Structure 1
Amino acid sequence: MRILILGDSVSQGSSGDWTWRYRLWRRLVDAGVAFDLVGPRDDLWDLRADAPGAMSYADPDFDRDHAARWGMFAGMPDVPVASLVTTYQPDVVVVMLGINDLIWTDQAPAEVAARVGDLVAAARSARPDVDVVLSEVTQHWFPDAPELNAQLALLAQAATTASSRVVLAAAAAGYDVDRDTWDTSHPNARGEVRIATAVAAALHELGIGPAATLPATMPPVGPRFPATFSGTLAGAEGRLAWTSGPGATHQLLWRRDVTTGAPWTRSPVPLPRDGTLVVPGLRRHHRYDFRLQPVKGDDLPGGDVYSAVVSLVPGGPMLAPAGVRAVARGRRCVRLAWRPVPDATSYVVERRVGRTWTRPVRTTTPSWRGTRLPVAPRWTFRVRATGDQVVGPPTSVTVRPARSAAPCR
């Protein structure tokens, strides 16, 4: 069973899409139908280049042949339909055209339907017994689109013959502009499933495949491919750069201050598909995480589709105190000293007790004196530098008490 899909951008799809052609192929394969999708193309529309030729399908592992082209008019197919049918000998032609004629040529719905009727006649001129599926245009919210769909229904009834059947695919039924498109015109993953289900139901009328209903669970929408993301530092400024994956029309930036335990927050301003961004005012020694979330039109990606996390620490991490020295002053006293740590405003000292540490004691100088320590064979201390909500890594030191009972000093 050879099937030729003739359509415009809704049928061709764009960068990162599965396409409704994939959804139909998957449905028929799972049903055990022996079929072949035919046509002169196998590509998507490349959103970045604004040209045909993209192969960036969300899943390219299917029969991608088709005869759809972005911007095609029913009245001006780029390849004559008779030539397509002669070359590929389809048993069924699926036609999903007319919305561009309606919007861009100011033709009345009846005139556009007549142009679709000419396509049916041209297909029959090359193969008199070819069957045809006429799909409604999905964008029923555009002026005159409902009337065009009504005219296509009348055409399907009038054009049917004993040797060449014409059936209508009710693709507009239940199709929603917000839920099923990413830009008020082109289908997202949910829209793809709805169109494929309508076309599969029409094919069932022709005896091809089982009865078709919508699945209980719809697929996630939005881009499936994260951006390539990187970042550098220039003083207290972060410099981010990215290139979007297929399908993204822009990116959303998320950030968090890991040092303060802040949650991820999303910038309200979307970023372009590709670009760079300077992030000023980063605090020294704080670790900041950044990630990008791809968006296609008005569709956020379903599920966790994010770029790799870029982490930036202006000034580097807070350093551990160096040169820590401990001198016992009697059996219960000790004095600690260390070299000052850059950007530290204070230090915390803790003493080990078994497997835990005592409550931190804070000092603003690079030294500390401990008194009334418990009598023990040795004491272990650790010192950390702190500043601007940053706590650096520790440096540990162990000291034995002095044997004498000299007073603390």
Structure 2
Amino acid sequence: MIRSRVMHVVMAGALAAAPLALVGSSSAAPPPGPGYQCSSNDGPEEPNPIKIMIAGDSITNASAGDYTWPYWLWKDQDGRGANVDFVGRFQDTINANTREQGSRQYIDCDFDQDHEARPGVKLWTDPDNLPNGKFGFGSAANYQNNPVYPYYPGATSWIRGAVTAHTPDIIVLFAGGNDLARTSEEPELAGLNDQQIAAFVAGKLKGVIAQARLGNPDVDVVITTVPTTSATSRAGRYNALLPGVVSDLNTANARVVLATLPGWSNHTWDGVHPDAVGEVAIAAAIDDKLHAINPALFARPNPLPTPKIGPRMTAVLDPPALDGDNKVKLTWTLPFGSDRTVVYARNKSGNGPWVRKADLVLGSLRYYYPSVGTQACGTVYTLPQTPCTTYTVSGLSGGTEYEFMLASAKGLALSPDLRSAAVAATPTGPVGRIDAPAAVAGLHAVTVSWTNLGGVPGYDVQWRQGGTNVWKSTTSAGSSRVISSLVAGRAYAFRVKAQGTATWSTEVVAKPRANALAVGKKPVLTKVSGKKIRATWAASAGALKYQVQRRVKGGAWKVVATTTARTLVSKKLTKGKTYEFRIRPFDGDVGGAYSPTAKRKVS
């Protein structure tokens, strides 16, 4: 039914965006944690609403910390004035870490949460193995009267019971993906190829629609394509059969329309389930089909909403604890729905930049995405999945004050704009190693800078040309040093350490910039006795040397000299042949544009 506006609403724009280098504020959000739940009260209904029953699997049911795509559909319709009522037995979602159903931890509670979706649901399956979630819309739903299970006693199928009980005008049926992916659970699919499996599942879809019509022969149905992020071959083949399902079942009084959903493989939090951007795309495609069924409903908004992904609340850091020399132990409370934490630290004493220290992800995510994160928390298949809520930052400098903050994520969906409030600590122990310094290229020079550790007499700075092991040295009393008289365009490595310590920083590489080089000047060619040619050219602005190239007309160019002069006499050439010359200006290892070509015949 229609829900009134509720307390504890966290809107996408409720928290001001914070640059990555700054500490975000969590003051606008309710306290994060497992106890937070949306509370909802029945609100007044407008007369004669268009009843929509959203039926689906985990993509529709979503999980704690999501908006859900029905949320965006509600905003697209109710938010623009359509008189709609979402109907169904359920209002909950699932906790993705524990796999427990019954959560009400939505990012924003302000939408009609009624639905008819369960994770793992199929279109049609044997209903006798409930512990494994093997139940389908076309199967009977005489389960125990438990709020997390479909319960329509006496109905020949779940979908028929739901339609009879809730009297929807329109069903949005988003299912079939589990039928295609989990074929080993169905004995009748043994030995079938992908095309045959796709046809079998399309037949089950027809059966579900037929069962829905037993509850209301005039109910309209929006069916959807399934994502190709899993069971790719079967999903593509199944999707190709759906226009035929529409053609077979669509009537004037009971319409069936197909919503072709966009791919959202780049907008998921786990490779399958959509993040907020993916949810918006799904809702938009369904908006269009609802409008096609009933013009009183709205097509997709233009422009579409552009929500931020990831958790919309921040983690809360506890006061840090010293954990031995040069270490600080952090503990925190995750915002609901979050299962991943990125740890940042900076040298507060030296006003240093924020540096990513760790990316702590669930073992299950690391299994499928081994390049994501720096440390896995928990095993791959053990439930509940336990996200990391503690981390020890090591390698710090004793006696230096540091700040720490966190970014939260739900799987692949890392919040781009929110950071926890920072906490500070000063570790004990000896002066530590400098983090990688910064190296900024200048004209024939590089400025090397680092975070001041404090309490040290100065710093040793070294540099070397790439490919050599010969280091040159200088010192600095501050936190930077300009290394000059370098060759433009040549790679140099730099490193820094505090005086009185033995450990150098990580090496960083930079190439000094060159002068702006003018185009080479066309050479003047003159005859020299002995079948030689003299090439002379004017200076090019910014050039410190010149490369001379020559070829027999029409042949390949060859470098014949690199010189700081502006004239060159060739070796003895072949009488009767025409030779071409061109000049390229250089500053160090950086070359400019070639000059126009000059030519002369040897006589």
Is TM-score (shorter-chain normalized) higher than 0.5?
yes
Determine if the alignment matches structure 1 residue 223 to structure 2 residue 311.
yes
Aligned residue identity for 1:261: N
Which of 146, 150, 165 in structure 1 is aligned with 2:240?
150
The corresponding residue for 1:254 is: 344
Aligned residue identity for 1:251: T
Of stretches 99-108 and 123-132 in structure 1, the one that deviates more from structure 2 is: 99-108
TM-score (norm 2): 0.50
Q: 1:200 to 1:90 in 2, by over 3 A?
A: same
Output aligned runs, 1:263-282, within 5 Å: 263-267=353-357, 269-271=359-361, 272=377, 273-282=387-396
Determine if the alignment matches structure 1 residue 96 to structure 2 residue 183.
no
Q: 1:95 to 1:197 in 2, by over 3 A?
A: same
User: Structure 1: 5+ residue runs without aligned partners?
Assistant: 317-342, 347-361, 363-386, 389-409
The corresponding residue for 1:288 is: 402
Q: 1:345 to 1:45 in 2, by over 3 A?
A: closer
Q: 1:262 to 1:143 in 2, by over 3 A?
A: same
The corresponding residue for 2:415 is: 301
CA displacement 1:182-204 (0-9 Å, x = unmatched): 21110111110111011111101
Q: 1:281 to 1:111 in 2, by over 3 A?
A: same
Output aligned runs, 1:5-404, within 5 Å: 5-75=54-124, 76-77=136-137, 79=150, 80-105=158-183, 107=189, 108-139=197-228, 142-171=232-261, 173=262, 175-178=263-266, 180-207=267-294, 208-212=296-300, 215-216=303-304, 218-230=306-318, 231-236=320-325, 237-267=327-357, 269-271=359-361, 272=377, 273-303=387-417, 305-314=418-427
Distance 1:16 1:64 in 2: 14
- C-alpha contact (below 8 Å) 1:16/1:225 kept by paired residues: no
The SS at the match of 1:177 is coil
Number of aligned residue pairs: 320
- C-alpha contact (below 8 Å) 2:72/2:279 kept by paired residues: yes
The SS at the match of 1:267 is strand
CA displacement 1:271-290 (0-9 Å, x = unmatched): 54233222234333311111
- C-alpha contact (below 8 Å) 1:294/1:306 kept by paired residues: yes
Distance 1:39 1:244 in 2: 31
Shift of 1:308: 2.0
Distance 2:392 2:269 in 1: 29
Distance 1:253 1:214 in 2: 38
CA displacement 1:153-201 (0-9 Å, x = unmatched): 2112211122211111111x3x2312x2121110111110111011111
The SS at the match of 2:413 is coil
Identity of aligned residues (%): 34
CA displacement 1:335-386 (0-9 Å, x = unmatched): xxxxxxxx9778xxxxxxxxxxxxxxx9xxxxxxxxxxxxxxxxxxxxxxxx
Of stretches 18-27 and 69-78 in structure 1, the one that deviates more from structure 2 is: 69-78
Q: 1:308 to 1:39 in 2, by over 3 A?
A: same
The corresponding residue for 1:325 is: none
CA displacement 1:295-341 (0-9 Å, x = unmatched): 222122132x122212112359xxxxxxxxxxxxxxxxxxxxxxxxx
Aligned residue identity for 1:24: L
User: Structure 2: 5+ residue runs without aligned partners?
Assistant: 1-49, 125-135, 142-149, 151-157, 190-196, 362-376, 378-386, 430-453, 458-476, 478-498, 501-603
Q: 1:225 to 1:279 in 2, by over 3 A?
A: same
